[in-house]
Amino acid sequence: MKLPSNSFLKKMFSFLLPGLILTVFSSVNAQEFHRKEYNFNSDWKLKQGDIDGAENPRFNDRSWEEVTLPHAYNQEEAFEKSIEEHSTGIVWYRKKFKLPEEAKGKKVFLEFEGIRHGGEIFLNGKKIGLHENGAMAFGLDISDLVNTGNKENTVALRIDNSWDYREKATNAKYRWNDKNFNANYGGIPKNVMLHITNETYQTLPLYSNLETTGTYIYPSEFNIPNKTARINIESQVKNESNSNKNISLEVEVFDMDGNSVGIFSSQPVTMAPGEIKMLKADKNLQDLEFWSWGYGYLYDVATRLKENNEIIDDVSTKTGFRKTDFKDGKIWLNDRVLQMKGYAQRTSNEWPAVGMSVPDWMSDFSNKLMVESNANLVRWMHITPWKQDVESCDRVGLIQAMPAGDSEGDSKGANWDQRASLMRDAIIYNRNNPSIIFYESGNDAISEPHMREMKSIRNTFDPHGGRAIGSREMLDSREAEYGGEMLYINKSANIPMWATEYSRDEGLRKYWDEYTPPFHKEGDGPLYKGEPARAYNHNQDAHAIENIVRWYDYFRERPGTGERVSSGGVNIIFSDSNTHHRGEGNYRGSGEVDPMRIPKDGFFAHQVMWDGWVDIEDHSSHIIGHWNYNDTIVKDEYVVSTGDKVELFLNEKSLGFGEQCHRFLFTFDNVDFEPGTLKAVSYDAEGKILSETEKNTAGEPAAIKLTPRVSPTGFLANGADIALIDVEVVDAEGNRVPTNNSEINFELKGPGKWLGGIGYGPGNDILSKDLAVTNGINRVMVQSLNNAGKITITATADGLNSSEVVLQTIPFETKNGLAEHLPGDGLPFNLERGPTPSTPSYTKKRNPVFIASATAGSNEEEVYRSFDDNELSEWTNDGRINTGWINYEFVQPSQISQVVIKLTGWRTKSYPIRITANGKELYEGETERNLGYLTIPVETVMTENVKIELIGANSEEDAFGDITEIDPTKELDLYKDKEAANAKGQLRIVEIEFYE
């Protein structure tokens, strides 16, 4: 086994004591120069305002604010101000640093993971670059300008985060720089790295400015049962020396324990000065662990350039191997079908008082919570995600849909060029991250030529990564590889369709129900656009129920239910967000957790409903709400469960079985409160117990309980690390009191900065040391300083026993502005769900009956559109009731038991119809309004044909009046289409399916 690369060693042993790390590196560096990657986050200063001469190395910045990156200059406004009130304008960042003498004559690069929004970059007084898209990483070659040895360097950035920032070359705005969804944390809110290489080196995957693509790693020739795959490496190499180089690429793959699992090499090549070549190597490896949902197994792939058998450059890439497929309306991961279930999350993924600039372990904490809710997908909204979140999803085992940059709708001219360039850069930068399996080209439908262009970008830079590229909508696209609408249910037998945003309701965590302080009446709140906004001012119980109702639409049409299926959908959003809002707060309350990631009841509802790849695999139940009321309360109780039936017990006395609806929701009417234990037991159809859960009445509030959470690698004294502290009010037995809202007073002593949490006072109590718990719990943050030591947090409140917690920060070594501890070093992988199961993920629920032909009362030449697997086409009659019929002929006689139909105007129109077979009536009635598909059980009959006919005038009423965020002119839902409302004799069918 060969010695791993320097960068691999650095990551592998990052959990060891710093002194030991330095000893290892010293022994390696004494032999020969190895490529270096430094953490460049320390020792920055910032100042708001457009300051003349701030790029000059001799400029006096002693009065500027000292910060450690990542750090947005206005991040303390996060959740304190509404998104449109975020501070904007010019800010300057400066940093002084020195490079070691060994960097002389080497290549030196700066890697910025992103700035917001547009910035000019200076080194030692000279402008070295411009970056403007406000989202993606970029690199700068500073080799010719940087000083080495003991000579000081000054890097400075002038950054403008104005909402109306315009690209200098085109004067075009960036459409994703939007006050609705892109929280404006300005400056340098992401990490910065510095790289030193030899003059012949493997390039960085930073196309903007550098125009290089780095290393590309992808598996092929999978044998999932035998755990084998061919691992392919393509590394772009550049020779900037003055001589020919005879080199080869050696590859070594290490598992998560640091064991070598394979070594292989490319053919040797000769490179002339200034030449760029792609070196390739591959090998079939055995006994591999495949990355999967909830199984973030990653490998370190060391790629080494060798000349005369000596290593002249080495790169370590952390990646994972997995197999995907997208066909027949379904999605496969490692040969197992997976229905998408998860969240459409704001890319800022922000927290109070720090915005998006959290330490890496907090990204893991937040993203792992999604997995713990049994989500398998996060769709980052509108803008490509930060690399820290991308890598976090790799570790926790969470699939990602990665957008480029967009607002709503297609773009043209310079705006399209901006989007396409951003997609190119994002693909190159993130193509080795296994958790990304979708590339999203737009937050709405784009033209077929634009979709083809995006596919060409994917095919050029990531042709083998196993990633589908598509866009929202794209229901009839011949170019997109997946699609799906917002809010509605789509099905397909071709490309997979999953809903890109559903269940857009809002509700703050402070409102349990109408019976609990502060006794908020369901739906009460400010008007939105002059209209009542009940859907945006939910209590927790109603919000959780809405989540159940909405998910059932997708679960009902899951794989196994027919030829045309739904591949699921993502609920908007996971955590409450400092973005566009419609409820009473100044932030969006659609989250299943609050801004501090404390779960609401919707979190647990999803945890129950989503526990399976397609069908339910592990059974569970959750009682919505709490069990701490007064003796006068009589209320309905709700249980979300995977069982076929649920029985409720109060203090061991059965209250009977709940009424089931939407598969997962069980309602128990008029339950009298009695202190004690409320227990729900779920059963299968034969009476076998599947799961149990209970809620207990807590006693009187007695004490404060503090529980700290820090990084698995320790609380670093680097000026940017954060500790979380859970704050609970508990009874004498230590049980949380779920109705307590006591104000807690905090005191901090030691080398830490108070960040606090979120409340409901002025400015949401951001940064306040007086903060109330909400429903018995809150969470606060403390940030480290640059000096290590003990931080003591004391919490007191009237009538409660106080509590104290002591945190110890660990020294963080930085020298001359450089640190060897990289972001993400040493963080563990989440392997809790285990490898992809080898068993099928669903059973077949019903058999599709295939249509051979059809005749119609009118427009017969268009009748095929009613069963063409295209949800943007329809058949309609001529407006007379007596021509509103279609007769469908089947390929063979079939025993029909269900008709599934999507009718034009599904949310507003009700159609009186009759279904017959050979003259025998199977169904007659008014169709229910819905969000896509209606399943009609019919009298079972063996038949070769079925006739659908209109038997009366349509009625018009919006059954989903709270859902308003739909383009009223575009789709077949006919929302607010007054002409359609006047057409009373129409039968209009988008898609129809028959099952036996």
pLDDT confidence bin for 879, thresholds 50/70/90: confident
- Encode pLDDT of 430-480 as tens digits: 999 999 999 999 999 999 999 999 999 999 999 999 999 999 999 999 999
**From the CA atom positions of the chain, what is the Rg in Å?**
30
What's the pLDDT at 974?
66
Quick one: 776 and 885 in the same domain? no
DSSP 95: E
What is the number of structural domains in the chain? 3
**Is 60 exceeded by the pLDDT of residue 9?**
no
Could you tell me the CA-to-CA distances from 42 to 284, 292, 819 in Å, in that order?
A: 42, 35, 8
Q: CA 160 to CA 157: how far, in whole Å?
A: 10
Quick one: 946 and 981 in the same domain? yes
The residue range of the domain holding 642 is 634-690
Out of 762, 782, 811, a domain closes at 811
Summary count for the chain: helices (H), strands (E): 9, 58
What's the pLDDT at 971?
59
Q: What is the DSSP string of 784-821?
A: E-SS--EEEEEEEETTEEEEEEEEEEEE---BTTBBS-
Compute the mean pLDDT over every residue in the chain, rounded to the nearest whole number: 94
Q: CA 22 to CA 13: how far, in whole Å?
A: 11
User: Has residue 871 been placed in a domain?
Assistant: yes
- Encode pLDDT of 661-717 as tens digits: 999 999 999 999 999 999 999 999 999 999 999 999 999 999 999 999 999 999 999
What's the pLDDT at 18?
37
- Encode pLDDT of 851-873 as tens digits: 999 999 999 999 999 999 999 99
Contact 551, 606 (CB under 8 A): yes
Q: What's the rounded mean pLDDT across residues 37-61?
A: 98
Residues 6+ apart with CB under 8 A from 986: 876, 877, 879, 884, 904, 950, 954, 980
What's the pLDDT at 34?
85
- Encode pLDDT of 149-178 as tens digits: 989 999 999 999 999 999 999 999 999 999
User: Has residue 937 been placed in a domain?
Assistant: yes
Give the residue among 189, 180, 965 at the shortest CA–CA distance from 579.
Answer: 180
Q: What's the rounded mean pLDDT across residues 133-143?
A: 97
DSSP 627: S
Quick one: 986 and 928 in the same domain? yes
User: Has residue 92 been placed in a domain?
Assistant: no
Quick one: 989 and 852 in the same domain? yes
pLDDT confidence bin for 960, thresholds 50/70/90: low
Kindly tell me the sign of the dihedral angle through the C-alpha atoms of 403, 405, 411, 412: negative
User: Has residue 727 been placed in a domain?
Assistant: yes
Q: CA 545 to CA 324: how far, in whole Å?
A: 33
**Is 80 exceeded by the pLDDT of residue 192?**
yes
What is the CATH number for 647?
A: 2.60.40
**Is 80 exceeded by the pLDDT of residue 197?**
yes
Quick one: 670 and 646 in the same domain? yes
- Encode pLDDT of 395-420 as tens digits: 999 999 999 998 988 999 999 999 99
What's the pLDDT at 139?
98
Residue 736 structure tokens: 């949380």
What's the pLDDT at 979?
62
Quick one: 795 and 927 in the same domain? no
**Is 50 exceeded by the pLDDT of residue 2?**
no
Quick one: 979 and 887 in the same domain? yes
Give the residue among 917, 942, 919, 921 at the shortest CA–CA distance from 996.
Answer: 942
Quick one: 868 and 990 in the same domain? yes
- Encode pLDDT of 500-539 as tens digits: 999 989 999 999 999 999 999 999 999 998 888 999 999 9
**Is 90 exceeded by the pLDDT of residue 8?**
no
Contact 923, 915 (CB under 8 A): yes
User: Has residue 648 been placed in a domain?
Assistant: yes
Determine whether 211 is an active site residue: no
What is the three-class DSSP state of 748?
A: strand
Q: CA 702 to CA 553: how far, in whole Å?
A: 44
What's the pLDDT at 375?
98
Residue 406 structure tokens: 């967009």
**Is 70 exceeded by the pLDDT of residue 981?**
no
pTM of the model: 0.95
Quick one: 870 and 966 in the same domain? yes
Q: What is the DSSP string of 486-548?
A: BSS---BSSS-B-EEEE------TT---TTSTTTPPTT-S--BTTB--GGGS--HHHHHHHHH
Out of 757, 789, 811, a domain closes at 811
What's the pLDDT at 867?
97
Q: What's the rounded mean pLDDT across residues 546-575?
A: 97
What's the pLDDT at 980?
59
**Is 70 exceeded by the pLDDT of residue 181?**
yes
Give the residue among 642, 629, 506, 499 at the shortest CA–CA distance from 570.
Answer: 499
Quick one: 803 and 925 in the same domain? no
pLDDT confidence bin for 982, thresholds 50/70/90: low
Quick one: 732 and 643 in the same domain? no
Quick one: 732 and 789 in the same domain? yes
**Is 90 exceeded by the pLDDT of residue 956?**
no
**Is 80 exceeded by the pLDDT of residue 1?**
no
**Is 50 exceeded by the pLDDT of residue 6?**
no
What is the CATH number for 976?
A: 2.60.120.260
Comparing 209-213, 602-606, 908-912, the range with the smallest average pLDDT is 908-912
Percent of the chain with pLDDT over 90: 91
SS (HEC) of 827-872: CCCCCCCCCCCCCCCCCCCCCEECEEEEEECCCHHHHHHHHCCCCC
Give the residue among 36, 40, 37 at the shortest CA–CA distance from 818.
Answer: 40
What's the pLDDT at 967?
44
What is the CATH number for 737?
A: 2.60.40.10
What's the pLDDT at 901?
97
What's the pLDDT at 964?
47
- Encode pLDDT of 712-734 as tens digits: 999 999 999 999 999 999 999 99
Place of tokens 């691992």: 231
User: Has residue 473 been placed in a domain?
Assistant: no
Out of 749, 783, 811, a domain closes at 811
Of 113, 350, 453, 501, the catalytic one is 501
User: Has residue 112 been placed in a domain?
Assistant: no
Contact 256, 299 (CB under 8 A): yes
DSSP 75: G
**Is 60 exceeded by the pLDDT of residue 69?**
yes
Q: CA 223 to CA 290: how far, in whole Å?
A: 11
Residue 723 structure tokens: 């500790």
**Is 70 exceeded by the pLDDT of residue 4?**
no
Q: What's the rounded mean pLDDT across residues 251-264?
A: 98
DSSP 721: -
Percent of the chain with pLDDT over 70: 94
What is the three-class DSSP state of 331?
A: strand
